[in-house]
Amino acid sequence: MSLTPEKLKEAFEKAGLRPYFPPDSLPALAPFTSRMLQINEGLNLTKWTKDEEVLTHHLLDSAWVLPLLKPLAAPGQRWVDLGTGCGFPGAVLIAAFPQVEVTLLDSIAKKTKALEECLQAAGWSGRAQVLTGRAEEVGRSSSTRESWDGVVARAVADFRVVLELGIPLLRTGGYLVNWMTEDQLKSVDKSQRALELLAGKIVKSEEYRLPGLHQRRYFVIVEKLGKTPQAYPRAAGKPSKNPL
């Protein structure tokens, strides 16, 4: 893989995102990504495997949110990457916010085991953690429910499903940040009931475009206004089968 630390720095500099990374933290993204792609040869973590694809669709797509996250992610906070898959955007958050504890959450044990290897390759084993479990179960467990300050979700599910899976993980006053395409943004109009039931409120929606791509994309930020009713999230599988 030719996605060296130098090439990542150059790409983030060109995108105007370089200042959002501490100088000593950014280089670790390269070995994290390299190990992920090595593991991907035997385990389906991502469909993007060419350097430019990975740079655009994982690294830059994850990092484009940093100007919005910087005012929200304070030192000592805990954030979770919901349905992390191949480790993005979580890995970018780890690099950008070294004083924030980031958890990579996925329901598939093979993926979380692979991500532990990626964290080790990056030298991040002591700064981040991996959690295996379905979001519905994590959201209902007394040890993890309402225990994070922020949730990020990229390419996870319908917006209403993301709300039901993500908001119960948040402390009151926390934020959920969801990545959306233009087509997916239409589901926001159907989300008012879910927001009311889960005590959430959309506080920001911002468009962005990735270099070389014409598709409009959006970040939608939801603030949690109060405690989540005990009925949510519903049992595993129900949120996706019957969105609120």
DSSP secondary structure string for all residues of 64-107: TTHHHHTTT--TT-EEEEET-TTTTTHHHHHHH-TTSEEEEEES
- Position 183 scores a pLDDT of 86
108: pLDDT strictly greater than 90 = yes
- As a whole-number percent, the residues of the chain with pLDDT over 70 amount to 100
- Position 126 scores a pLDDT of 86
DSSP secondary structure string for all residues of 120-177: HHHT-TTTEEEEES-HHHHHH-TTTTT-EEEEEEES-S-HHHHHHHHGGGEEEEEEEE
Tell me the CATH number at 177: 3.40.50.150
Residue range of the domain that includes 97: 5-241
137: pLDDT strictly greater than 60 = yes
- Average pLDDT value over all residues in the chain: 95
2: pLDDT strictly greater than 80 = no
Q: Give SS3 for 214.
A: coil
- The residue that leads in pLDDT, 102 or 156, is 102
Give pLDDT tens digits for 118-130: 999 999 998 899 9
pLDDT grade, residue 1 (50/70/90)? low
Enter the pTM of the model. Answer: 0.95
The average pLDDT across 175-203 equals 94
Give pLDDT tens digits for 65-105: 999 999 999 999 999 999 999 999 999 999 999 999 999 99
Domain count, the chain: 1
User: Residue 111 in contact with residue 133, Cβ under 8 Å?
Assistant: no
What residues does 102 pair with on adjacent strands?
Answer: 79, 128
Please tell me the number of Cα atoms within 13 Å of 18 on its side-chain side.
13
- Position 13 scores a pLDDT of 96
Ramachandran sector of residue 92 (left: φ over 0; alpha: ψ -120 to 50; beta: rest):
alpha
pLDDT grade, residue 185 (50/70/90)? confident
9: pLDDT strictly greater than 90 = yes
Strand pairing class (170-181; 217-224): antiparallel
212: pLDDT strictly greater than 90 = no
Strands, sheet with 217-224, edge to edge from the N-terminal-most edge strand: 128-132, 101-106, 78-82, 148-154, 170-181, 217-224, 200-208
Radius of gyration of the chain (CA): 17
Residues contacting residue 142 through CB under 8 Å, at least 6 positions apart: none
Give pLDDT tens digits for 22-65: 988 899 999 999 999 999 999 989 998 898 999 999 999 999 99
